[in-house]
Structure 1
Amino acid sequence: MQGEQRARTIFLWLWTLITAVKLVVAARLPLFVDEAFYWQEGQHLAAAYSDLPGLTAWLARLGVEIGGHHVLALRLPFLAIGAWLPWAVSRIATRWFGNVAGWQAGSLTLLMPLSATLGMLAVPDVPMAMAAVLCLGAGARLLRTVDAAAAMRLALGLLIGALSHYRFIGVIAVGFIALLLLPQGRRMLRDPRIWVALAVGVLAWLPLLAWNADNHEAGLKFQVVDRHPWDFQWTGLWFLVIQPMLVTPLLCVAMWKVAVAGTRAGGGARAQWRYFGLVGGVSTLAIFVLGFFTDVERISFHWPLPGYLALLVAVPVVLNGWPRWLRRTAWWMAGAGLALAFSYYLMASTPQLREQLAGYKYYPRNFAGWQPLADAVREELQQMPPGTKVLAGNFKVGAELGFQLGDADIAVLPHPLNDKHGRSVQLGLWGQLHDGKRDGPMLLVLSPSDQRYRELLDRYRAICGQVGPLPPPRVVSNDHGFQRFLLFRLPAQRDEGPCITPAMAWFDAPSSGEIVAADLHVKGWAFKDGVGLSRVEVLLDGRPVTDAVYGRNFDIRSAWPQSTDPQHPNVGFDARLDTRALAPGRHWLGLRLHGHDGSVEQWQEQPFVVPTR
């Protein structure tokens, strides 16, 4: 009893503390771009959408309807599911392994970074995890005895999963394999009540199937074919490095011991123990193997979560068999992993801290700069004629601006990014894909940070083809330019003439992060198609310090043969700066580019380091 009381107290303290922290972070964290699009989908209620079934959008709509137009309100239904999840895992573990193990399983769910942070973002993985746990608990109970209550719970889990994500098909397949491998599972599948539950699960896919039938299977093709290379790629091995970090190493070892135990028959092993091990082990192994062939460009580290939740149910039994020092290390390591995960989200939610990540691989670009962009858009609209409409360069800008401005109908230009994320068809169904025609003034908002640099000039030229020559832009630069936006006032009637693009530049010296001497030699190139540049200012930590000598012979036409800057090949610049007065540490080198058309554009800054002297 004393051990049970201690385990229960630890769980309740952890649940209270972690839930409170999640609420605080969720209230401060800007919307991730996918969350903004789910909000937009929720403002156009439908049975299914081009990228997902309907449940995520419905939950997002429910949140703002109840709590108002705020990021926390939008996330509240997802936070509620995330808060429910540890209790559900605890209940399953309690049923099969006792009260102490039950509370410990709930605590581990609260500490494992992948499950602990669930719900802070309004994403489909949240209801999908809920569905997986409902099915897991129902399946374990049905292995012992088939009854109507457990069958109804299974049906509910299958229903929620089908409305959450295409990936839930994998959860169903793994559960079916686990049942077939168990004698009790094969016996269970002969009961008609199970097939009634399965029929409910099948019917839940009908809205998504109907949407695909009406739209040439666009959603199915995107999820199964278009987004995956289906060619072998060695990057799948990163799974073995990333996943132990995300679930913490010792907890990862314990989960794999559960998975291995699930493959062993006989020896008095419980059917439920084997069931949890098989579901979690088969799921994780399948995702690892698929990782060699599937999409690696977008975030996929969360895919194994349903399998991990199955393994967590039995992990306390494994941990309790370890030496005390190792068991304590596993718990503290999980807590440290959770602290690091929360620290990242806190940095992403705090502009001053987020700025420190600029220039690093883990800079949270998709969270950055949306509020300053919205403020700039409002200022521009106030200075433009009444009735001016906003035109976004891609779905990310359209969705994020839509949430900030309270407008779910912002028009969006065709963009490869829309196709890459499976959103073009949906935008077309809403009538929001812009064809370049206009019957009034428009404010065009572009996000060059979303484009690969080598493709940026072609993108600018494509936009010229869509909307005509581009006037001088207003630059909205965040975090040293690692999130930049360009705002263009387009007149009511399309202009004709040569394509004038935003300026482009590059530092040849110093290199990013270079440790510099007292005398810093700055050199590189810059150009602006259509009109050329008249002046290049050099900025140091955001302040102008000198003009670079511009017009050096620097022939870059082999890299940019399509460029029409009239000053080619004389587009090089150089300058020298004295850094002896600078404090040791990281500093930022920037450019302000002046075009012959009157444009003034601040370029992305580049870090360099002044050593301690």
Structure 2
Amino acid sequence: MTLLRLLVAATGPLAPDETYYWVWSHHLQTGYLDHPPMVAFWIRAGTLLAGETPLGVRLLGPLSAALGSVLLARAADALFPTAPPGSRGPLSPPGPWSPGLSPGLSPGLWAALLLNATLVLGVGSVVMAPDTPLLFFCTAALWAMARLRRSGDGRWWLAVGAFAGGALLSKYTAVLLGLGIALWLVLTAEGRAWLRRWQPWAGGAVAVLLFAPVVAWNAANGWASFLRQGGRAGATEPGRALRYLGELVGGQAGLATPIVFVLCVVGVALAAAAWVRRRDASAALLACLTVPGALLFLWQATGSRVQGNWPAMLYPAAAIAAAALPGPRWQRLRPAAVWVGAVLTALVYVQAALAPVALPRRLDPTLARLGGWEAFTASVEAARRSAGADFVAAEEYGLASALAFRLPPGVRVLAIDPRWRSFGLPAPPPGLRGLLVRSERRGEVPPLWPEPRPAGELVRSRHGVEAERYRLYEVVTRPDAPVTVVLPRPGD
């Protein structure tokens, strides 16, 4: 699976968001407007190893998915150990929470298979986004918690803190990981016993120290990132709330793949029940790591759209719960879940790379994000040369970044947006003549320069199917223009 993912990562075109994070990797800092900096450090490491290519940008995605799968399997087996078939030892306690798996298949193997069957990991591991390191560090923290429970060695709390800090450096939603661990400490007898010792407090201090540079960056930049990501809340319009809730549940069923999603939901419900009825500390840990986050995203969906990737961090714990489900009925669903997920993931890979089915944009997310960039960039460069332009510019951060990654060496690419103010990138000198590329979705007349001159239209398409239309304008840089910076180029 890792070899297949590396192949897909190497051959698939980069999405605009991936090129945006690639720009980050050329200007490393401890915080950005959108997210903490971990994705930028991962891309920098990958491009140092594999060059400034799609594989270099995405390299750590498939590798972290492989290591994370091993850690998830070890975590599940530590939380729910089983004895060899036919034995009656302390590792196979009777009762409704005993996995009862067939010979040779441990809870850990099933957990890893189920998580790998989801599009969350199958597709998420071949694109580079903040969720990629977030998913890995959440899995690693879960593994460290499982080792802590199995061994009773308090030094594992330091590892938990380090991995939680890595998750916080990846995405702000990692605060749900800390919340889940804190709830487990407070609400279980085993956790409360740990609170009387120094190790969990030291682990929390490690996480806070790792996250401190992000706090310092926000303090120096008017708390811009915290304010941007923290301003979401529920609303009071019932019709909109129902629509967003339906999108959230339907989107998760698609991203997790339907059968895996059902198994995860039932598994988490049974984990909560086992915690309440039998005070099972392992089940409590899984419930604490999933239920609060699920409730938060459901609440957010009452007022605003919850993007499908946001709940991704909940799936490692949910996959263990699904793997530890009791009863033969649920066991029979697991192989089907893995096969369905594998087939759906393969279909997405094939459509993204080859597009054998000519689907319109509204039905094909791979077209909107990945389709036609190479030919489109060549058309932009031809238009630039024809106009004798000194630069190419774009207002959309993703479009500007995609052009910066793909245009020929030596072509200056400008990005126009207030978000670039905190990067410290150089501003262009005034008086340069250039070509502004603008999606038709933004309207007809760009408000950024006085009297822009229309210079034609371009279409980004794949196999004749339109992905997006753009308008071209001749513009001139001015000292009083909005925030404009010169983006880095490959090799800079």
Superposition map of 1:242-391 within 5 A: 242-263=251-272, 264-265=274-275, 270-296=280-306, 300-318=307-325, 321-323=327-329, 327-350=331-354, 352-353=355-356, 355-358=358-361, 360=363, 362=365, 364-383=367-386, 385=388, 388-391=390-393
The whole-number CA distance in structure 2 between the counterparts of 1:261 and 1:311 is: 11
- TM score, norm. by length of structure 2: 0.82
> Does residue 444 of structure 1 match 2:436?
yes
Superposition map of 1:95-494 within 5 A: 95-98=78-81, 100-143=106-149, 146-225=152-231, 228=232, 230-232=234-236, 233-238=241-246, 239-263=248-272, 264-265=274-275, 270-296=280-306, 300-318=307-325, 321-323=327-329, 327-350=331-354, 352-353=355-356, 355-358=358-361, 360=363, 362=365, 364-383=367-386, 385=388, 388-405=390-407, 410-414=413-417, 424-427=418-421, 429-431=423-425, 438-448=430-440, 450-451=441-442, 456-457=443-444, 460=445, 462-463=447-448, 466-479=449-462, 480-490=465-475
Query: Residue 366 and residue 265 in structure 1: after superposition, are their counterparts in 2 closer, same or farther (change >3 A)?
Result: closer
* Aligned pair partner of 2:29 in 22, 31, 46: 46
Q: Residues 412 and 432 of structure 1 are in contact (CA less than 8 Å); yes or no, is this contact kept in structure 2?
A: no
- SS of the residue corresponding to residue 473 of structure 1 reads strand
- SS of the residue corresponding to residue 410 of structure 1 reads strand
Query: Residue 488 and residue 273 in structure 1: after superposition, are their counterparts in 2 closer, same or farther (change >3 A)?
Result: same
Greater CA deviation, 402-411 or 185-194?
A: 402-411
Q: Residues 436 and 473 of structure 2 are in contact (CA less than 8 Å); yes or no, is this contact kept in structure 1?
A: yes
Q: Residues 443 and 487 of structure 1 are in contact (CA less than 8 Å); yes or no, is this contact kept in structure 2?
A: yes
The whole-number CA distance in structure 2 between the counterparts of 1:409 and 1:61 is: 22
Give the drift of 1:60: 0.8
- TM score, norm. by length of structure 1: 0.67
Q: Residues 456 and 472 of structure 2 are in contact (CA less than 8 Å); yes or no, is this contact kept in structure 1?
A: yes
Give the drift of 1:483: 1.4
The percent identity for this pair of structures is 22
What letter corresponds to residue 318 of structure 1 in structure 2? Answer: L
Q: Name the residue aligned to 1:565.
A: none
The whole-number CA distance in structure 2 between the counterparts of 1:372 and 1:427 is: 31
Q: Name the residue aligned to 2:61.
A: 78
Q: Residues 280 and 307 of structure 1 are in contact (CA less than 8 Å); yes or no, is this contact kept in structure 2?
A: yes
- SS of the residue corresponding to residue 125 of structure 2 reads coil
Q: Which has the larger radius of gyration?
A: 1
Q: Residues 87 and 106 of structure 1 are in contact (CA less than 8 Å); yes or no, is this contact kept in structure 2?
A: yes
Q: Where is the strand percentage greater, Structure 1 or Structure 2?
A: 1
- SS of the residue corresponding to residue 470 of structure 2 reads strand
Q: Residues 218 and 425 of structure 1 are in contact (CA less than 8 Å); yes or no, is this contact kept in structure 2?
A: no
Give the drift of 1:143: 4.0
- SS of the residue corresponding to residue 59 of structure 2 reads helix
The whole-number CA distance in structure 2 between the counterparts of 1:47 and 1:288 is: 31
Query: Residue 283 and residue 359 in structure 1: after superposition, are their counterparts in 2 closer, same or farther (change >3 A)?
Result: closer
Q: Name the residue aligned to 2:3.
A: 20
Give the drift of 1:26: 1.6
- SS of the residue corresponding to residue 431 of structure 2 reads coil
What letter corresponds to residue 368 of structure 1 in structure 2? Answer: G
* Cα-to-partner distance string for 1:418-468 (whole Å, 9 max, x where unaligned): xxxxxx33345434678xx842221222222x43xxxx13xx1524xx142
Query: Residue 89 and residue 380 in structure 1: after superposition, are their counterparts in 2 closer, same or farther (change >3 A)?
Result: same
- SS of the residue corresponding to residue 484 of structure 1 reads strand
What letter corresponds to residue 370 of structure 1 in structure 2? Answer: W
What letter corresponds to residue 285 of structure 1 in structure 2? Answer: L
Q: Residues 412 and 433 of structure 1 are in contact (CA less than 8 Å); yes or no, is this contact kept in structure 2?
A: no
Give the drift of 1:185: 0.9
Query: Residue 21 and residue 357 in structure 1: after superposition, are their counterparts in 2 closer, same or farther (change >3 A)?
Result: farther
- SS of the residue corresponding to residue 225 of structure 2 reads helix
- SS of the residue corresponding to residue 341 of structure 1 reads helix
Aligned residues: 447
Superposition map of 1:543-582 within 5 A: none
Structural RMSD (CA): 2.8
The whole-number CA distance in structure 1 between the counterparts of 2:263 and 2:457 is: 54
The whole-number CA distance in structure 2 between the counterparts of 1:43 and 1:274 is: 42
Give the drift of 1:282: 3.0
Superposition map of 1:50-69 within 5 A: 50-69=33-52
- SS of the residue corresponding to residue 486 of structure 1 reads strand
* Cα-to-partner distance string for 1:26-68 (whole Å, 9 max, x where unaligned): 2222212211110001011112211111110111111112111
Query: Residue 124 and residue 461 in structure 1: after superposition, are their counterparts in 2 closer, same or farther (change >3 A)?
Result: closer
- SS of the residue corresponding to residue 318 of structure 1 reads coil
Q: Residues 157 and 200 of structure 2 are in contact (CA less than 8 Å); yes or no, is this contact kept in structure 1?
A: yes
Higher relative contact order (CA 8 A, sep 6+): 2
